[in-house]
Structure formats: structure tokens, C-alpha cells
Chain A
């Protein structure tokens, strides 16, 4: 009865109201889907094999006969379940919607995006700004034709990327934002101050330079900005899934900024004798080879890939004792010995002191 009445009301409602109801229905479907039996799912699949688009009324009729998951599947088949772009701060973020209307999940994603973006600024001193990314690329790639730099575009963030970014920044928390002041890096300005999402990067800083389709992420030293690019969407090679790969890409790009001070130390003691200098392999037999193929490009890429493995899958560094020891030392060095640490005289607001033993903590993101 209730279902019949609901269907009648929907059929008389305005298109906008109908869409909202469908969106609400989808949320219900989502929460109830686990209760569906296998037989019902199979029946639904048989029932929904048609390529014709369904009207909202037909959608509800289908829901009443073969089950909620059938509706969910059919909405997806019709392209009704979509990603809607919302604005958070200066950034465009893609969240869940149906027929252009934010679902509960979409609203929750928007709130989450707002929280992440606020935390990036407040906690880590990193401003999410894709327009700053575009400007940083232009400032660094000065020899490419103007038509190429004019074609640079910001791109919408996906939730998976914002979550990965937040996870990546946690690994550098002791030397970012307000925490940096009490670290051994406190005397130096923070090397990453903005992050953006871009459609494409540029392949080379020459008059022949053009937009590329291969750059996953890049750090732009001149403006202290790091970028993530469209090529990273759906990509993973070193790590088992896209989310982990994204965290690794961010950890890698952040390292190009905040760990650049340690490049020479990495060459001298952290790379197991593999590098003569930042650009040149030693060619020594028996040297500890980089743990990734990309790390063989130069010592800087090696160190940044090593940082990704150390923070995300430290077990993968178990066969690379020099690199593992180097990263452990880097993390401990961030926290000055207690006798040298600045004394907080601010009263009751002091945070719990961070001890050398607590950093870094290699955590699976």
C-alpha cells in the first residue's frame, strides 16, 4: 500500500521534486542493499536488461516489484547516478548525485571535502588552490610557447584524491604548519605551501614543450606548489590500488619540497653507494639499488620514492637497509633533542609534546 501511494504521489509531482525523491530513494536503496537475496538480484538483472531509459515512475514500480538494488542498478545503467561538481573554497570537487541532485552521500562528501580543505590550510599550512598550480607551472616552464601555457587548466578534485592528500600530509605533520616551528626545520620556510589539481602538465621546458598526458604529479619549486594531474586518475603501478598510489604520489611530491634539504645526505649515506651525486649513478657493483624502477632516474626521484615506500609500505624497504635507516633518521631528526626544544611558556594550551620515538610512524594510509 505504502509503495503504491508513494508511486502515485511521485507521478504527480514536479520534475524537480521527483528528482529529489529519486535521490532520497537511492539513499534508501544504498542502505538496504545488503538485505537483498541473490535470487532477487538475478531477477532484477533479467528485468532490467533493456537499454531503454526508465521514467521515474517506472523506476519506482520496478523498485516495488523486484527490489531496491534493481533500482540502483538501473539508475546507474541510465546514467542517472552521476558525479556533481560543487565549489569548496576556490576548488571544484566532484561529489555523488542522482539526476543532478546531491544525495545524502553527496552532501556528506561535500562536508568532508570542506573539512579536508580547511584542515590542509589550518593544520599543514598548505593552501588547496588549483589556480596557484597553473601559475606555478607557468612560472617554471618559461621556454614553452604561450599557446601551451594558455591551455593549462585546473581540474576538479575527486574525493579519493582529497582523502589521499590528507593521508599523505599526515606523514609530514611534524614539519608542516604550526608544528614546524618546534621541529628541527623550524628555521626554514615551509617548502610546500599550496596544492592543486590540473588537467595536464608540460613535458619539457623548451620551445618544443607541449601539454603531456603522462605526468601524475609534480612539485614546482619556484612557487612551492605541488600538483596532481589527470593522468593519475585510475592509475596505479607501484601500489596495489588507486587510493594507495595517490597517497604515494602525494608523499613523493611533498618529499621533493620538504625533504629536498636531505638530498645530499641521501646520496652520501642513504643510498647505499648507488649514487655519486644527485644526477649520476656510482656504477659500483654491490651498491644498494633503488627499490623502484623510477628511483633509478636520479637520486632525487630515488629518495622521494623511498619516502613513499617508507611511509606507506615500510615492509617493502626491508631489503634496503641503508634507505630504511636513512628515512628513520630523517624522521627522528625532525624533532630536536628535548634539551634543545623550544620551551612552550604559553600556559594551558600546550599540546602534548612529541618525542623522537613517536616520529615518524609508518602508517598504512
Chain B
């Protein structure tokens, strides 16, 4: 599904990603771990097409489509979803209005008509139940005054609504209490299928206890320095990241 080759990216001439290779197949869950400043969030942003970074080398393909030259919204239309570490506030725009706009813009890109209100309502009911979101929440301004947990739950709600091929969860566990973590993780597990893929970016092992990864990669200084199965996450939890630095 996702194929990243020799990805280099920099910000203001400072190299952050220094040659990443990663292949994610449909139905797989990959975890990207690593110490602060390793380039984990940069990698997520670059895949999503953020213009804050300059991609200097390499290719990113999703199901054979070269994403490199595509605008962020076009990548979204191809099925890329990023759950933000710090979702932004948009005052006056309700959660419902926002997701309705997003869904219809994605449909428009595919040459489809707007989703009928009845279908949209049904879908919203279904997905908000999945994430234990109540009706009142949906009428609030997007992320305005949301707690950390509410913000993350809202991200996963949007993911559920948009049903992307590739979901990248950037530090989704940060700011979540135990209950919220359980709800979010169970939501992601229910949304997982053989046709989509998930990349979980996380600092800790915590979320991975709930969403079991097929592969774990360790990112350090802009490169993947070690890959393994779920047990690698446990090893990192136990030993910390210092030993990894020596691998680089």
C-alpha cells in the first residue's frame, strides 16, 4: 500500500529525515518509535504533504500513485489520513459542519454528489457511538476548549467518518487518560481491516498494548535504525533508547 524510498526532508536547510525506507502493506499495523527529535512527527507531516518541510529526495507512493507532487488535499483524496498530535482550533465551525465539509470535498474529488443528509446523519450516529461521543460534543466549535482527550477522540472520529486507506496516528496516546486511551484504541481496532493500514507514531509502549502492531520500527536521527515485531516495543520500554543510539 505505502512505499517510501530514500525519503529526505529538511526544514530551513536543516536535514531532518535522512533516507527513510518503509513499506506498509494493506491490513498491517506499523509502529514508529524513537526518542524526541528523531523525526517521527516530521515523517508524518511529510507523508501528508505539509509545506513546512521541503522534501529533498526520495519517493512516496500510495497504491502505486506517486504522492510526491500532490497537494495535501489531493493526498487526502487518495486516502491518506493524519491524526494530528496537536489538532488546531477552528472557532465557529462545529464538529459536524467540519466533517460534513470534509466528506463532501472528498466525494467531490471523486466526482460524487454531496452525501445525502440522511446518510450523513446515520454515519455520524454510528461512528460517534463507536467512540462514545455524545451529541452535544458534535455541535461544539472544532477543538475549541476541548480537553486533550476530546481532541484525540475527535481525530479518530474523523478518521472513522472518512475511512482512509492509510491512517497515521501521531502521538495519539499523549494527553489521554486510561479510559480515553481504551476508547480510542478500541475504535482504531474496529476500524482496522484487511484493506487499510495504520501507522502509529508513539513514544511509549502504552498504546501498543491496546493496538497490536505487526511491525515496530525505531527512528533515530532521521533514519530507521532497527525494525522488528511487537516484542521490539517491549524491549524499548525496558531498556530505553540509549542502546539504539549506538546502532546509528
User: Is B truly associated with A?
Assistant: no
